[in-house]
Copies of this chain bind each other. A is one copy, B any other.
Amino acid sequence: MTSDLPVLLAGVTMLSALHMGFQARRVGWSRMKHKIMPPTVTGPPEFERTFRAHQNSVEFYSIFLAVLWISGIFCNEVLAALGGIIYIVGREMYFTGYIRESKRRLPGFFFMLSVLLFLIVMATIGIIQSFLDKYLNIRLF
Protein backbone atom coordinates (compact mmCIF):
# COMPACT_ATOMS: atom_id res chain seq x y z
CA MET A 1 0.00 0.00 0.00
CA THR A 2 2.73 2.42 0.97
CA SER A 3 5.30 0.87 -1.37
CA ASP A 4 5.21 3.63 -3.98
CA LEU A 5 5.65 6.47 -1.48
CA PRO A 6 8.90 8.51 -1.56
CA VAL A 7 10.28 6.86 1.57
CA LEU A 8 13.85 8.08 0.99
CA LEU A 9 12.68 11.72 0.99
CA ALA A 10 10.63 11.02 4.12
CA GLY A 11 13.66 9.43 5.81
CA VAL A 12 15.96 12.35 4.98
CA THR A 13 13.23 14.77 6.13
CA MET A 14 13.02 13.00 9.50
CA LEU A 15 16.84 13.12 9.84
CA SER A 16 16.79 16.84 9.07
CA ALA A 17 13.94 17.41 11.57
CA LEU A 18 15.90 15.61 14.29
CA HIS A 19 18.98 17.67 13.38
CA MET A 20 16.92 20.87 13.70
CA GLY A 21 15.75 19.68 17.13
CA PHE A 22 19.35 18.94 18.10
CA GLN A 23 20.39 22.48 17.12
CA ALA A 24 17.55 23.96 19.21
CA ARG A 25 18.77 21.76 22.08
CA ARG A 26 22.31 23.13 21.74
CA VAL A 27 20.96 26.69 21.96
CA GLY A 28 19.29 25.57 25.21
CA TRP A 29 22.58 24.11 26.49
CA SER A 30 24.36 27.35 25.59
CA ARG A 31 21.67 29.24 27.55
CA MET A 32 22.41 27.08 30.61
CA LYS A 33 26.19 27.36 30.22
CA HIS A 34 26.07 31.16 30.01
CA LYS A 35 23.07 31.51 32.39
CA ILE A 36 20.94 33.39 29.84
CA MET A 37 17.28 32.89 30.59
CA PRO A 38 14.56 33.25 27.95
CA PRO A 39 13.34 35.58 26.54
CA THR A 40 16.85 37.15 26.47
CA VAL A 41 18.67 36.50 23.18
CA THR A 42 21.80 38.56 23.74
CA GLY A 43 24.86 37.75 25.84
CA PRO A 44 28.45 36.55 25.44
CA PRO A 45 29.64 36.21 21.81
CA GLU A 46 29.63 32.39 21.96
CA PHE A 47 25.97 32.35 22.97
CA GLU A 48 25.03 34.88 20.29
CA ARG A 49 26.85 32.85 17.64
CA THR A 50 25.05 29.67 18.74
CA PHE A 51 21.72 31.49 18.72
CA ARG A 52 22.29 32.97 15.25
CA ALA A 53 23.58 29.65 13.86
CA HIS A 54 20.25 28.09 14.84
CA GLN A 55 18.27 31.04 13.47
CA ASN A 56 20.02 30.69 10.13
CA SER A 57 19.07 27.01 10.06
CA VAL A 58 15.46 27.97 10.73
CA GLU A 59 15.54 30.60 7.97
CA PHE A 60 16.71 28.01 5.44
CA TYR A 61 14.75 24.97 6.65
CA SER A 62 11.51 25.50 4.71
CA ILE A 63 13.46 26.34 1.56
CA PHE A 64 15.48 23.15 2.00
CA LEU A 65 12.38 20.95 2.51
CA ALA A 66 10.59 22.47 -0.49
CA VAL A 67 13.60 22.00 -2.78
CA LEU A 68 14.30 18.48 -1.43
CA TRP A 69 10.78 17.19 -2.10
CA ILE A 70 10.31 18.90 -5.48
CA SER A 71 13.70 17.75 -6.82
CA GLY A 72 13.01 14.24 -5.47
CA ILE A 73 9.50 13.90 -6.84
CA PHE A 74 9.88 15.75 -10.15
CA CYS A 75 13.41 14.64 -10.99
CA ASN A 76 15.16 11.83 -9.07
CA GLU A 77 14.43 10.60 -5.56
CA VAL A 78 17.75 8.84 -4.86
CA LEU A 79 19.87 11.81 -6.00
CA ALA A 80 17.69 14.27 -4.05
CA ALA A 81 17.88 12.14 -0.89
CA LEU A 82 21.67 11.92 -1.21
CA GLY A 83 21.78 15.70 -1.71
CA GLY A 84 19.62 16.08 1.37
CA ILE A 85 21.98 14.02 3.53
CA ILE A 86 24.99 15.99 2.27
CA TYR A 87 23.10 19.23 3.03
CA ILE A 88 22.56 18.10 6.64
CA VAL A 89 26.31 17.39 6.91
CA GLY A 90 27.01 20.91 5.59
CA ARG A 91 24.49 22.35 8.06
CA GLU A 92 26.33 20.59 10.92
CA MET A 93 29.69 21.94 9.64
CA TYR A 94 28.16 25.42 9.55
CA PHE A 95 26.74 25.13 13.06
CA THR A 96 29.86 23.76 14.78
CA GLY A 97 32.10 26.16 12.82
CA TYR A 98 29.95 29.19 13.68
CA ILE A 99 29.95 28.37 17.40
CA ARG A 100 33.76 28.48 17.48
CA GLU A 101 34.28 31.61 15.37
CA SER A 102 32.04 33.72 13.12
CA LYS A 103 34.09 33.28 9.96
CA ARG A 104 34.31 29.52 10.49
CA ARG A 105 30.62 29.34 9.54
CA LEU A 106 31.59 30.05 5.91
CA PRO A 107 32.97 26.69 4.65
CA GLY A 108 29.83 24.86 5.80
CA PHE A 109 27.66 27.65 4.43
CA PHE A 110 29.09 27.57 0.92
CA PHE A 111 29.05 23.77 1.01
CA MET A 112 25.30 23.81 1.82
CA LEU A 113 24.67 26.47 -0.79
CA SER A 114 26.28 24.28 -3.48
CA VAL A 115 24.08 21.34 -2.53
CA LEU A 116 21.01 23.59 -2.50
CA LEU A 117 21.87 24.94 -5.95
CA PHE A 118 22.31 21.37 -7.22
CA LEU A 119 18.85 20.44 -5.89
CA ILE A 120 17.38 23.65 -7.37
CA VAL A 121 18.77 22.73 -10.81
CA MET A 122 17.31 19.22 -10.48
CA ALA A 123 13.95 20.64 -9.40
CA THR A 124 13.90 23.15 -12.27
CA ILE A 125 14.67 20.47 -14.87
CA GLY A 126 11.97 18.25 -13.38
CA ILE A 127 9.38 21.01 -13.35
CA ILE A 128 10.07 22.11 -16.94
CA GLN A 129 9.91 18.51 -18.14
CA SER A 130 6.70 17.84 -16.22
CA PHE A 131 5.12 21.11 -17.40
CA LEU A 132 5.88 20.39 -21.07
CA ASP A 133 4.53 16.85 -20.70
CA LYS A 134 1.34 17.84 -18.87
CA TYR A 135 0.30 21.01 -20.68
CA LEU A 136 1.97 20.84 -24.11
CA ASN A 137 2.21 17.06 -24.49
CA ILE A 138 5.93 17.33 -25.25
CA ARG A 139 8.14 14.56 -23.83
CA LEU A 140 11.79 15.56 -23.54
CA PHE A 141 13.12 12.29 -22.15
* Interface residues in chain A, defined as those with a beta carbon under 8 Å from any beta carbon in chain B: 2-5, 7-8, 10-11, 13-14, 16-18, 20-21, 24, 37-41, 45, 48-49, 51-54, 58-63, 65-67, 70, 73-74, 98, 102, 105, 120, 123-124, 126-127, 129-131, 133-134
Q: Does the CB pair B48–A7 fall under 8 Å?
A: no
| Chain B residues with CB under 8 A of A74 | 2, 5, 7, 10
Question: How far, in Å, is A69 (CB) from chain B's closest CB?
Answer: 9
| Chain B residues with CB under 8 A of A134 | 2-5, 7
Q: Does the CB pair B51–A39 fall under 8 Å?
A: yes
Can you list 5 contacts pairing A with B, beta carbon distance less than 8 Å?
Answer: A2-B129, A3-B133, A14-B70, A14-B120, A39-B48
* From B65, B127, B129, B133, contact of A14 by CB (8 A): B127
Give the distance in Å from the alpha carbon of A38 to the alpha carbon of B49 in the complex: 8
Q: Does the CB pair B2–A63 fall under 8 Å?
A: no
For the complex with contacts A5-B73, A5-B134, A8-B131, 6 further pairs of A-B residues with Cβ separation under 8 Å are A5-B130, A7-B134, A10-B127, A21-B63, A24-B59, A39-B52
Closest B residue to A2 by beta carbon equals B130
